Amino acid sequence: MIWSKYSAPQAFYPLAGRLIPWFSVVAVALIGVGLYMGFFVAPTDFQQGEAYRIIFVHVPAAWMSMFLYVVMAVWAGVGLGLNARLSFMMAQAIAPTGAMFTFLALLTGAMWGKPTWGAWWVWDARLTSELILLFQYAGVMLLRTSIDDLRRADRSSAVFSLVGVVNVPIIYFSVQWWNTLHQGASVSMSTGSKMAATMLTAMLLMTLAFWLYSVAVILSRVRCIIVERESLPVWEEQPTVVQKVAEVR
Amino acid sequence: MSRSSMWEAVGGIVRRDLLLAMRRRSDAAMSVFFLVIVVSLFPLGVGPEPAVLRTIGPGVLWVAALLACLLSLARVFTADYVDGTLEQMVLVPQPLAVLVVGKVFAHWVISGLPIVVLSPLLGLQFGLSGESLGVLVMSLLLGTPTLSMIGTIGAALVLGVRGSGLLVALLVLPLYVPVLIFGAGAVTSSMAGIGGEANLSLLGACLVLSLFLAPWATAVALRIALE
Amino acid sequence: MQWGSASEFFAMGGYGLYVWTSFVVTALCMVWEVLALWRRRAAARAEHRAMLLGGTDETAA
């Protein structure tokens, strides 16, 4: 199979290098179109006024934060199951970007909540599970940096990210249950029901753009990790290095 | 390998851990003492109004129980790791996950059960009434084994890692959130007159889920740590 | 197009502070991430090159 060929870091490194420009260019283009749609085509929301435009960054960031955690856990699981170095490197590369989007989702959520609900923060199911998600990203990264042995760091953080995958949905439903108990604290967040088509298009374009951005950034981080971890020559620039070596001689 | 030999092995681990704990009673007493102190600090910080104390009581008791459970996690595997017993445990024919259940049970008896027994007294400090005290005990009885189950995953992950005491708290506390919500929720809803049964059954579900998943995850983490 | 003027656009119907903080912080985070990766890559390559050249120096000597 073609995939098994690229499961070796040496083979994946140049492939990732070829893919990054494409993902980057399309991501930048889509962000441009999405921002134009979001600010100039999408109409004013009759309930929330212009503040609703925050969802064009908030919803993509929130979706990416959850999606990236699942992808990270899948790579971690593949790594544990097949004992594949590259899978652990992918999981390692995903964590910082996922944590960044989780932070952005929380921040932009607060920015949206203040004018809409009158509060920066409420203990709602989505907000709480997003906060716990940020803690779990931090846990995965801290566990990795605390363990000196690379092989154990890979595997231990993989186990923790898999445990976390079970935790986040449980927290979501427990907080939802908890909020129905405390009647006063519940806040309705129905935005999706009567969204104009242009608003939805802009939101989906931004989501796609954030996804492509994530792929580009993660691939480029994987390349850094490969160079840092594998004590092999930098394949891409081998000719120039060989030339330099010859000059030194 | 026969089923009876498996139970013998688990029973042996539980007996051994309890015996060791009996020899070092001050260790177990310390986390109970910690619980009592933390719980007693809250009325001093918040003020003595009975209505306020009743409102925050279940949450405070549960958070304190969480922290007390966390404090004793470092002890679950460290001694066995240092003296090499853990490596023997990995090598025996009985499945490691089953042996882990024995370790978790011993940990619960040492650090969870005292909390359950002591909780009605602490509840009185917060003005909880008779029925709520019963629900508090029930919630802790169902919840603290889950805390031990989840906690041992963290303890196995950070085994022999520098700064493991703080790290295990950062890893495990987010995983404790559902138990905290259901546990404190059971007491709160019984105080509100709704009855805590729904929350208690959810706590039971958490216990069953953790009983199936946690020993297995702990076993994987232990093997990784011992490689 | 619903904006009469540029100032109206930047005011965002009175919500300018919230909207622009969200977008600007998001943009800064993403740009910072790309720059940080770029520097990490440069550092990793420099280290590697130094190692390679250092290795040949030893064999030459």
Q: Are B and C neighbours with ≥3 CB pairs closer than 8 A? A: no
Instruction: Provide, as residue numbers in chain B, all residues whose Cβ is less than 8 Å from the Cβ of A152.
Output: 224-225, 227
d(CA C8, CA C16): 9
Among the ranges given (A75-79, A110-114, B6-10, B50-54), the one the predictor scored with the smallest mean pLDDT: B6-10
Residue B194 gets which letter from DSSP? S
Smallest Cα–Cα separation from B210: which of B171, B165, B168, B152?
B152
A89 located within any domain = yes
Output C2 or B113, whichever has higher pLDDT: B113
Output A247 or B6, whichever has higher pLDDT: B6
Residue A40 gets which letter from DSSP? I
Total number of domains constituting chain A: 1
A225 located within any domain = yes
Which residues lie below 8 Å from residue B162, measured CB to CB, with a gap of 6+? A146
How do the pLDDT tens digits run along chain A, 249 residues long? 456 777 788 888 888 889 999 999 999 999 999 999 888 888 877 777 788 888 899 999 999 999 999 999 999 999 999 988 899 999 999 999 999 999 999 999 999 888 888 888 888 778 888 999 999 999 999 999 999 899 999 999 999 999 999 888 888 887 777 776 654 443 445 544 456 788 888 899 999 999 999 999 999 999 999 988 876 555 555 555 555 555 555
Distance set, CA B36 to CA B48, B60, B118 (Å): 17, 11, 9
A6 located within any domain = no
Q: Which amino acid is at A57?
A: V
**A77 close to A158: Cβ distance less than 8 angstroms:** yes
Output A229 or B157, whichever has higher pLDDT: B157
Total number of domains constituting chain B: 1
| Average per-residue pLDDT for chain B | 88
CB spacing of C22 vs A111 below 8 angstroms: yes
State residue A52 phi and psi, 5-degree precision. -65, -20
Q: How many residues does chain C have?
A: 61
3-state secondary structure of A49: strand
From A49's Cα to the closest Cα of chain B, the distance in A is: 36
Helix ranges (H only) for chain A are: 2-6, 9-36, 55-82, 85-117, 125-146, 150-181, 197-229, 238-248
pLDDT band at B224 (very low <50, low <70, confident <90, very high): very high
Smallest Cβ–Cβ distance between A115 and the set C2, C15, C49 belongs to C15
Smallest Cβ–Cβ distance between C26 and the set A104, A112, A227 belongs to A104
pTM of the shown model: 0.88
Which of C37, C39, C45 is the best substitution to test chain A (most A C-beta atoms within 10 A)? C37
Give the pLDDT confidence of A119-155 residue by residue, as tens digits: 888 887 788 889 999 999 999 999 999 998 999 999 9
Q: Which amino acid is at A144?
A: R
Give the pLDDT confidence of C32-46 residue by residue, as tens digits: 999 999 999 888 888
B12's tokens: 């042996």
Smallest Cα–Cα separation from B80: which of B65, B64, B102, B95?
B102
- Tell me which H or E stretch contains B124: helix B113-125
pLDDT recorded at residue A182: 57
Helices B164-191 and A125-146: angle between axes, nearest 10 degrees = 160
Quote the domain boundaries for residue B78: 3-226
Instruction: Provide, as residue numbers in chain A, all residues whose Cβ is less than 8 Å from the Cβ of C26.
Output: 57, 61, 104, 108
Q: Does C10 touch chain A (CB under 8 A)?
A: no
Give the pLDDT confidence of C4-59 residue by residue, as tens digits: 788 888 878 778 888 899 999 999 999 999 999 999 988 888 887 787 777 554 44
d(CA B111, CA B74): 12
Which residues lie below 8 Å from residue B217, measured CB to CB, with a gap of 6+? A159, A162, A163, B153
B183 class by beta-carbon count within 10 Å (0-12 exposed, 13-18 middle, 19+ buried): buried
Specify the residue for token string 């622009």. C20
pLDDT recorded at residue B150: 94
Which residues lie below 8 Å from residue B146, measured CB to CB, with a gap of 6+? B179, B203, B206, B207, B210
Output A243 or B37, whichever has higher pLDDT: B37
**B149 close to B211: Cβ distance less than 8 angstroms:** yes
**A87 close to C52: Cβ distance less than 8 angstroms:** no
Instruction: Provide, as residue numbers in chain C, all residues whose Cβ is less than 8 Å from the Cβ of A40.
Output: 1, 3
A69 located within any domain = yes
pLDDT recorded at residue B61: 93
CB spacing of A111 vs C18 below 8 angstroms: yes
Task: Give the residues across from A45 on adjacent strands.
Answer: A49
d(CA B26, CA B35): 14
Quote the domain boundaries for residue A120: 12-187+196-248
Which of C18, C45, C57 is the best substitution to test chain A (most A C-beta atoms within 10 A)? C18
Interface of A with B in 66-105 (CB under 8 A): 80
pLDDT recorded at residue B203: 92
* pLDDT exceeds 80 at position C60: no
Of the CA atoms within 13 Å of residue A31, those in its CB half-sphere come to 18
**B9 close to B102: Cβ distance less than 8 angstroms:** yes
Q: Does B170 touch chain A (CB under 8 A)?
A: yes
pLDDT recorded at residue B128: 87
Average pLDDT for residues B37-56, to the nearest whole number?
Answer: 89
ipTM (interface predicted TM): 0.89
Cβ neighbour number for residue C21 with a 10 Å cutoff? 15
Smallest Cβ–Cβ distance between A100 and the set C21, C33, C56 belongs to C33
3-state secondary structure of A45: strand
